[in-house]
Amino acid sequence: MEHYLAGRPMSDNDKIDILYAYWAYVDALKTLYACCRALERCGLPEEDPEYNNFKDALSEADSAYEIAKINYYAICDRLFR
């Protein structure tokens, strides 16, 4: 991403905005995948309260991912269109 942005004619602030949005997007995606794997591998029955904690964490990670994705694409649309 940094290499791609280096040759683009945009302000440093815009480059920083999109890089931070990209990093947040990637971090949220990694967290979402980690929560999915944890839920799949926990081996707990669905009735177990700890299983519900995993499901809650997955739901929160999914929400964070959606917000980060929307933010990243909004910045891309603003800068590249």
pLDDT score recorded for residue 60: 98
Note whether residue 23 is domain-resident.
Answer: yes
CA atoms within 13 A on the CB side of 80: 12
- Report the alpha-carbon distance of residue 70 to residue 61 in Å, rounded: 14
Note whether residue 6 is domain-resident.
Answer: no
CB 62 within 8 A of CB 32: yes
Note whether residue 65 is domain-resident.
Answer: yes
Note whether residue 43 is domain-resident.
Answer: yes
Note whether residue 7 is domain-resident.
Answer: no
What is the tally of structural domains in the chain?
1
Q: Which residue has the tokens 């290499």?
A: 3
Range of the domain at 43: 13-80
Note whether residue 3 is domain-resident.
Answer: no
Note whether residue 5 is domain-resident.
Answer: no
pLDDT tens digits along 27-75: 999 999 999 999 999 999 999 999 999 999 999 999 999 999 999 999 9
The pTM of this model reads: 0.82
